Amino acid sequence: MCFFSYSNRQPSMLFILLRICLLAVLVRPSLQNDALVYLSEYGYLPASTRNPTSEHLMDEETYMNALKEFQAFAGLNITGQLDDETKATMRLPRCGVKDKVGYATSSRSRRYALQGSRWRVKNLTYKIAKYPKALLKSDTDLEIKKAFEVWSGVTPLTFTQKKSGPVHIEVRFETGEHGDGDPFDGRGGTLAHAFFPVYGGDAHFDDAEKWSVNSYHGTNLFQVAAHEFGHSLGLSHSDIRSALMAPFYRGYQSSFELDEDDVEAIQALYGQKPYKDPSGGGKKTTTEAPVEPGDEEDAELCNDATVDTLFSSADGVTYAFKGLHYWKLTEESIAPGYPRLISRSWPGLPGNIDAAFTYKNGKTYFFKGTQYWRYTGKKVDGNYPKKISEGFAGIPDNIDAAMVWGGNGKIYFYKGSKFWRFDPTQKPPVKSTYPKDIANWEGIPNNLDAALQYTNGYAYFFKKGQYYRFNDRTFSVDVADPPFPRPAGYWWFGCKSETAGGMTTAFKPDGNNEDRRRNNPNNNNGVGTRSFNSAMYVLLLTLALVAL
């Protein structure tokens, strides 16, 4: 119960308290509706909100933020309101796998908690352990076979049906509660769900649906099965509406084909489909050249973790460049299917890049020698390369590293023992007080290989296979256990050896060093960063900005 006293001198406080009381009493019942359950069901709210008798008190802001997340993911107008468009989308038939990862509770978590897991073999087997009641077995066999072929058509994977015995992927048509803690809901709503490879890859279909073959009537089995088998192979949902891995059923498509987003995702896990060279040169891939003989030293980061540059793209993906090749990084290591050739993905861009960064305009800039290139995504802009002296006046050629520092949004260039700050909004963009000594970045060495403002808010500096994490609050290399510098091969590239990247480690890579999840800025393996109050932080920030 809420109590408050009336005061003529504080009408605004009365209004605020009244609003809080009404929110506690009235909002929760109004939010306990189908939308609330839906948002919880698909990962936008905690699972506790699915239970009408839960003591969880839902506040308006949390509910609106969840709606906005769903609207953004579904490509709707982001209003934060349960408008007609949002309600219509929530009524669409869809896959039962969560859209949003984060609330890994209940038995359903097994299908999403380790999204991105993959099979370690290329020749997979499957069986249909339970057939649908209203569809011929021969039709079911054919549609399921075609659904697997969607993925084998763009990867090295093969799929073989077995009638009995153990298999990699088991397919079942069930109704209601069927033993996995996630019951089906009858016709419409949830059509099917599947498990990621690490939990077996099985796929379940709601047999209450009217499954159809090559027809606009009913629910097309082939398309739904192809989607579910994407999960069985390790793919999560896509927010690209044209992608097969989008969560919503779009109806029968007579001329079906995979979206580019689907192809890129599955090939990141398993690589490209090989083909035999008509000239007799052996197998090659359809879209990516193999690593050339003699380039193994550049292509193997675990032998030598030294890199040319690292940068995060406009869409938040982090890449490592070395020699002619590049790697896509995940939160814990390197994405499968890498390395790849830089020139294939960024046409016109040479290898052996000096530095790179993505600016707040969404453009990515690459530097080499006396020149620089500007790209939108992976497409070069206009007439590049251009001279560094023209586009970045005041910045030297042959730089060591560059990044956009999160502390002030300015661009920093590093070379030898010096650094320059570049601000394109000012004239001149480089002040006369530069260059300054890198020693101003306490603990950061000279002659860097790379610098990166990572997505977790920290700045990282790399040199000779090791890296340093910079703490903006202390304006020095971060204090952690194990201390910095650390071997980049183990902590960034997922190498297993204690001497990953040629650097001996003071710990065993047994999986207990959870700081490998670099996107957690508060994880210091038991050693927290120094604590400051806000006033002290502002003072230190002011002093540091003067120095930097």
Q: Which of 91, 119, 137 is the last residue of a domain?
A: 91
Return the bridge partners of 327, or none.
Answer: 320
Asked, for residue 133, whether it belongs to a domain, the answer is: yes
Known binder of ligand: residue 217?
A: no
**Shortest CA distance to 288 belongs to which of 343, 353, 352?**
343
Question: Strands of 169-174's sheet, edge to edge?
Answer: 94-95, 190-194, 203-206, 169-174, 123-130, 158-161
Is 206 among the annotated ligand-binding positions?
yes
Q: Cα–Cα distance between 265 and 258 in angstroms, integer? A: 11
pLDDT digits (tens, 9 = 90+) for 84-132: 999 999 999 999 998 875 333 333 333 323 355 789 899 999 999 999 9
Q: Is 95 annotated as a binding residue?
A: yes
**Pairwise CA distance, residues 403 & 310, whole Å:** 9
Q: What is the pLDDT of residue 191?
A: 96
For residues 114 and 208, state if they share a domain.
Answer: yes
What average pLDDT score do residues 440-467 get?
A: 95
Query: Which of 91, 118, 149 finishes a domain?
Result: 91
245 assigned binding-site residue: yes
For residues 312 and 256, state if they share a domain: no
Decide which of 152 and 517 is more confident: 152
pLDDT of residue 145: 98
Q: Does 347 lie in the same domain as 233?
A: no
Measured between alpha carbons, how far is 96 from 172 in angstroms, rounded to an integer?
15
* Token couple for 507: 């710990």
- pLDDT confidence of residue 274: 79
Please indicate, yes or no, if residue 280 is contained in any of the structural domains: no
Q: Has 200 been labeled as part of a binding site?
A: yes
Is the residue at 129 inside a domain?
Answer: yes
Backbone angles phi and psi of 87, in degrees to 5: -65, -40
**Residues 72 and 147 grouped into a single domain:** no
Residues annotated as catalytic are 228
Check whether residue 236 and residue 132 sit in a common domain.
Answer: yes
Q: How far apart are CA 547 and CA 436, in angstroms?
A: 8
For residues 23-33, average pLDDT: 45
Q: What is the pLDDT at residue 507? A: 34
Backbone dihedral angles phi then psi of residue 35, each to the nearest 5 degrees: -65, -40
Whether 102 maps to a domain, the answer reads: no
CATH of the domain at 339: 2.110.10.10
504/530 same-domain check: yes
Q: Which of helix, strand or coil describes residue 337?
A: coil
- Both 86 and 141 in a single domain? no
Other CB atoms within 10 A of residue 457 CB: 11
Examine residue 181 and state whether it is found in any structural domain, yes or no.
Answer: yes
Integer Cα distance of 238 and 116 in angstroms: 13
Average of pLDDT values for 274-287? 51
Domain closes at, from 46, 62, 91: 91
Confidence label for 539 from pLDDT (cuts 50, 70 and 90) = low
Q: Which domain holds residue 347?
A: 298-547
- For all residues of the chain together, what is the average pLDDT? 80
User: Is 325 annotated as ligand-binding?
Assistant: no
Domain containing residue 249: CATH number: 3.40.390.10
Q: Are residues 313 and 433 in the same domain?
A: yes
Residue predicted with more confidence, 262 or 536? 262
- Band of the pLDDT at 547, cuts 50, 70, 90? low
Domain presence at residue 288: no
Is 191 a member of any domain? yes
pLDDT digits (tens, 9 = 90+) for 216-228: 999 999 999 999 9
**Is residue 78 in a domain?**
yes
Tell me the average pLDDT across 13-34: 47
Residue keyed to tokens 């308290």:
17
Same domain, 432 and 540: yes
pLDDT digits (tens, 9 = 90+) for 473-501: 888 999 988 999 999 998 999 887 544 44
Give yes or no: residues 394 and 540 share one domain. yes
pTM of structure: 0.50
Q: Which letter does DSSP use for residue 456 in this model? A: T
Q: If we measure between CA atoms, which residue out of 177, 205, 180 comes closest to residue 190? A: 205
Domain count, the chain: 3
% of the chain residues with pLDDT over 70 = 75
The verdict on whether residue 180 carries a ligand-binding annotation is: yes
pLDDT at site 10: 46
Question: Please, what is the Cα angle at 115 between 127 and 341, to 5 degrees?
Answer: 100
Task: Look at 172-181, 336-345, 532-541 and tell me which has the smallest mean pLDDT.
Answer: 532-541
Does residue 439 sit in the same domain as residue 473? yes
Please tell me whether 423 is known to bind a ligand: no
- First vs last Cα of the chain: how many Å apart? 53
Query: Which residue would you say has higher pLDDT here, 54 or 100?
Result: 100
